[in-house]
Amino acid sequence: MRIEREAGGPRRAMLKQKTALITGITGQDGSYLAEFLLEQGYRVVGMQRRSSTETLWRIAHLLDKIELVQGDLLDQLSLIEIVQAYQPDEIYNLAAQSFVPTSWQQPVLTGEFTALGVTRLLEAVRLVKPDAKFYQASSSEMFGKVVEVPQNERTPFYPRSPYGVSKVYGHYITINYRESYGLFAVSGILFNHESPRRGLEFVTRKVTHGVAKIKLGLARELRLGNLDARRDWGYAPDYVQAMWLMLQQDQPDDFVVGTGKTHSVRQLCEIAFGCVGLNWEDYVVVDPALFRPADVDLLVADATKARTVLGWRPTVSFEEMIELMVDADLRLLKGEDVPPGMVAPVLRRGI
Ligand code: NAP
Ligand code: F7E
């Protein structure tokens, strides 16, 4: 929180609370960002799309501290009305169709959410609150079939999925609104980041949850696709701090955020099964149905700029993160206390 002093001295000192709007607050990153911004003293407003089923489990522990408002990246007017009503100082656009395989099954919808949704939100900012600072959740998937190793802010893009293509659009439209209208709009090119709140379909959580099920006798095998794919995997709570730091700079700029270390899915399995004293080769089954039409083989970040300009550094190693995820999944499946924001209603019923 910033204390602003007015003319008249400290007696007239005024505490000005900043308002942050988060789209995608029900997702992994939205939940951690909301926690972080509350700790900084922000008023946090989360945009939630209408659903007939429960999507609030990651933020259930925050519901009395944040404000939720219904809106959808597909609906221009809802975005304009939300920006008008809350007059946010900072806007974090985290909402997206974020699962890469789904982007081949629903490429048009992915483009509507993940690409054009960014323009709709930027239009709302331009028309209603052009002095708001805007963060766009860009992705290392934009580097795709990488043309250099490691990847930094100057590395050319070569996306390999409709998701990656949509994120390239979101990245460039953010820069275009900055250059066309002078908006404080930044693009954070974040490499994969994970946590116990990660969706079960993403490979780290699929593996840690699968390991826990096998250890507890609830499953006998774990079916996976491409074990050779390599990713730069970091810990999600570290990454939401980088988002915030980007909006605290004097000038808007784009940053790559990652650990600089890469591991294969095979190594992920070795480490995760090792956490419970099992040999991954006894349980992992390679299923050709889980291979992607085009995959990203190798990602590794050169986050020098984030380190030097933002002072950002990862605090949790890959091995520590996988261990804490396996531990959290074991607790979840045993019905013990779990970290906040982890218990999906469907899992609570043991399905
Ligand atoms: P996530 O867990 O999949 O969350 C996505 C969020 O977007 C959910 O809150 C979802 O709401 C919301 N959403 C989807 N479509 C929407 C729509 N049409 N209107 C409004 N909200 C909508 O994703 P995440 O891992 O937190 O990632 C956050 C952002 O960072 C995403 O844009 C993702 O593409 C990007 N990113 C992620 C990573 C990573 O490794 N996690 C890396 C780079 C970039 P529901 O709850 O209703 O589904
Ligand atoms: O896959 C391989 C798969 O789905 C990682 C999103 O947050 O990060 C995420 O995208 C790798 C791929 O993440 C399985 O082929 C093998 O090479 O966990 P993932 P992702 O596709 O990298 C980026 C930065 C984002 O922006 C996205 O929103 O793992 N893999 N076997 C598998 N992947 C899955 N999901 N399931 C498998 O069984």
What does residue 137 show for φ and ψ, rounded to 5 degrees? -80, 85
Which residue has its alpha carbon closest to ligand 1 atom 41? 193
Q: Ligand 2 center to residue 228 CA distance, Å? A: 12
* Residue 166: predicted pLDDT: 98
Which residue has its alpha carbon closest to ligand 2 atom 26? 139
Which residue has its alpha carbon closest to ligand 2 atom 38? 224
Could you confirm whether 319 is annotated as catalytic?
no
- Look up residue 145 and give its amino acid: K
Q: CA angle at residue 226 from 276 to 318, to 5 degrees?
A: 45
pLDDT at 12 exceeding the cut of 70 = no
Which residue has its alpha carbon closest to ligand 2 atom 23? 192
Q: Residue 333: CB within 6 Å of ligand 2?
A: no
Q: Which atom of ligand 2 has the smallest separation from the CA of 205?
A: 18
Distance CA 70, CA 23 (A): 10
Across the range 120-126, mean pLDDT stands at: 98
Strand partners for 14: 4
pTM greater than 0.85? yes
pLDDT digits (tens, 9 = 90+) for 292-307: 999 999 999 999 999 9
Q: Which two tokens stand for residue 128?
A: 């209603």
* Residue 348: predicted pLDDT: 61
Q: Which atom of ligand 1 has the smallest separation from the CA of 74?
A: 18
Percent of the chain residues past pLDDT 90, beyond the cut: 92
Q: Ligand 2 center to residue 95 CA distance, Å? A: 18
Q: Which of 139, 140, 161, 166 is catalytic?
A: 139
Which of 192, 194, 322 to mutate for ligand 2's pocket (most ligand atoms within 8 Å of CB)?
A: 192
pLDDT digits (tens, 9 = 90+) for 161-215: 999 999 999 999 999 999 999 999 999 999 999 999 999 999 999 999 999 999 9
Q: Residue 229: CB within 6 Å of ligand 1?
A: no
Q: Ligand 1 center to residue 11 CA distance, Å? A: 44
Q: How many helices (H) and strands (E) does the chain have?
A: 12, 15
Q: Which two tokens stand for residue 14?
A: 């005024």
Nearest ligand to the CA atom of 257: 1
Distance CA 108, CA 115 (A): 10
Could you confirm whether 86 is annotated as catalytic?
no
Strand partners for 45: 21, 67
Q: Whole-number mean pLDDT of the chain?
A: 94
Most distant CA pair in the chain, distance: 73
Residue with tokens 């007059």, as numbered in its chain: 87
Q: Ligand 2 center to residue 100 CA distance, Å? A: 7
Q: Residue 344: CB within 6 Å of ligand 2?
A: no
Q: Residue 264: CB within 6 Å of ligand 1?
A: no
- Look up residue 349 and give its amino acid: R
Could you confirm whether 283 is annotated as catalytic?
no
Q: Which two tokens stand for residue 334?
A: 């045993």
188 CB neighbour count, 10 Å cutoff: 24
pLDDT digits (tens, 9 = 90+) for 230-286: 999 999 999 999 999 999 999 999 999 999 999 999 999 999 999 999 999 999 999
Q: Which atom of ligand 1 has the smallest separation from the CA of 113?
A: 18
* Residue 14: predicted pLDDT: 54
Distance CA 111, CA 187 (A): 18
Q: Residue 203: CB within 6 Å of ligand 2?
A: yes
